[in-house]
Amino acid sequence: EAQVTQNPRYLITVTGKKLTVTCSQNMNHEYMSWYRQDPGLGLRQIYYSMNVEVTDKGDVPEGYKVSRKEKRNFPLILESPSPNQTSLYFCASSLSFRPGDGGYTFGSGTRLTVV
Amino acid sequence: DAKTTQPTSMDCAEGRAANLPCNHSTISGNEYVYWYRQIHSQGPQYIIHGLKNNETNEMASLIITEDRKSSTLILPHATLRDTAVYYCIASNAGNMLTFGGGTRLMVKP
């Protein structure tokens, strides 16, 4: 089944403890992206990648890192999580970044709580 | 991305067509109209997109006015499982889609 898989689904952590949220897609998609969703603020893009070794900042990149060493994987790294990074996170992938090439496939989400 | 305006919420009777409007009066010629939906806190789901012509797939139909200033997403036979927030996005930036507030569609028995 074509899908985007995120792990973990739920995570509670403490301030300052480094964590990684994994994202993997099995559709050979070029483009991958991370969003966070917060009440009243909607979905906001954190980082995106147009292909292997090509990443760029979205609207809210502060406090996050990403890497794209392989086409299928796009992990989100929080080096020193803070409570304001408590949020619902979604990974997405798309065939390409070219407009009109189709829509994004989203993962099921990771609910992160930083205490 | 061009600004889009959608009603905050709508109701629809189960089995009837749900017509969700979207205004994008400042859309530019190369911006596509995309529709996504999000059921509760699940990941958003891509529904359909179009540039100028009307489009139909297994989920829905997209009707774009001739001047491209507005569009309508049509779910032909709404079911309870279509209850969700529906997002209309006008964009030519394939690398970044900006999600607004969307329309909360409630399908009622």
Is B101 an 8 Å CB contact of chain A? Answer: yes
Bridge partner residues of B70 (DSSP): B23
Residue B92 pLDDT grade (very low, low, confident, very high; cuts 50, 70, 90): confident
Q: Length of chain B, please?
A: 109
Q: Quick one: pLDDT at residue B51?
A: 93
Q: What percent of chain B has pLDDT over 70?
A: 98
Q: What is the pLDDT of residue A96?
A: 84
pLDDT tens per residue across span A25-46: 999 999 999 999 999 898 999 9
CA dist., res. B35 & res. A90, Å (int): 17
Res. B21: pLDDT tops 90? yes
Cα–Cα distance, B2 to B97 (Å, whole number): 11
Task: Pick B96 or A91 by higher pLDDT.
Answer: A91
Whether B95 shows a pLDDT value over 80: the answer reads: no
Partners of A35 on chain B (C-beta within 8 Å) are: 99
Cross-chain residue pair B95–A50, CB shorter than 8 Å: yes
Summarize the confidence of residues A12-21 as an average pLDDT.
Answer: 97
pLDDT in tens, A67-110: 999 999 999 999 999 999 999 999 999 998 787 788 899 999 99
Confidence of residue B96 (pLDDT cuts 50, 70, 90): confident
Q: Does A38 touch chain B (CB under 8 A)?
A: no
Cβ–Cβ below 8 Å for A56 and B47: no
The reported pLDDT for the residue numbered B2 is 82
What is the overall mean pLDDT for chain B? 94
Contact across the interface for A103 and B41, Cβ inside 8 Å: no
> A106–B97: do the CB atoms touch at under 8 Å?
no
Tokens of B41: 């806190």
